[in-house]
Amino acid sequence: MPSPLMRPSVGGMNINPLRIGAVAAFLGVTGGFAAAMVEPGRVGDADEAIRKIAEMDPWTGRWLVHLVGILLLVTALVVVTRTFTDGPAREWSRIGLPLLVIAGALGAAEVLAGAGTKDLADGWASAPPGSELPYLTAFEAAWNTTVNLDFGAIFVVGLFQLTLAMAILSSSVYPRWLGWASGASGVLGLVGIVLELWSPIGTALNLVSALVTYVVLVALGVSMWRRAAELGPAPERPIPATPALKGELP
């Protein structure tokens, strides 16, 4: 039985969602690493954050990389969920898909809210002495919004990873170690994001969770690419012959 992800050719090109998902996973992980290196950390007070952001230039490219990375990772994981076509794995993927969409929406909202903090930081930096308070107050509100959105995104991602782990472990589509790794990453993320409110240990757990998640995503990308190669190109549909009109030469 052909894979439900195989699609007929469009414009002479065979479009395989498995390859799209694999490429999205690789590029999304790259974008995630890049965003982690160039963006300021979400933990810390607003005074420190506003100074860091005021000194950062250019700014637009930083948040665009982060936003594109989120969209690519969501795309890759949507393709992964569609590879589970029957049994308990399919049911777990159906539970996880809404969580994935919510997590992606929260992550995108966080990035877009953070993008607007640059103007406030620049205004604070250029304000005359004694008039910085309105900029700092507005920045602190926006910054806290990004922190809360980040908390929500990580929490929902942790829940999604648990459903992904159950889907992988209850099927033979992917290696079982990916299921255990996804589950471990989800637990670490859920515990870490809560502990982060009181202890730096939570930050360390979140870091480990993120690294394990990236390993899982790369491995899923490799698996999807290999499956696409094994399934081969999508069969082309024959073009039906046009019936000859009466009186037309054969």
Residue extents of the structural domains in the chain: 17-231
- The mean pLDDT of 55-61, rounded to a whole number, is 77
Share of the chain above pLDDT 90, in %: 46
Residue 245 has pLDDT above 70, yes or no: no
Report the distance separating Cα 36 and Cα 248, nearest Å.
68
Average pLDDT, the chain: 83
Distance of alpha carbon 106 from alpha carbon 95, whole angstroms? 18
| pLDDT over 60 (residue 2) | no
The CA distance from 204 to 189, in Å, is 10
Q: Cα separation of 224 and 234, whole Å? A: 15
Buried b / exposed e over 176-185, threshold 16 CB at 10 Å, is eebbebbbbb
Q: What is the pLDDT of residues 108-117, one digit of tens each?
A: 999 998 888 8
Helices assigned H by DSSP within 39-86: 46-55, 60-82
Token pair 């809560």 is found at 194
pLDDT at residue 164 in the model: 96
- CB atoms under 10 Å from CB of 43, counted, come to 15
CB neighbours of residue 231 within 10 Å: 14
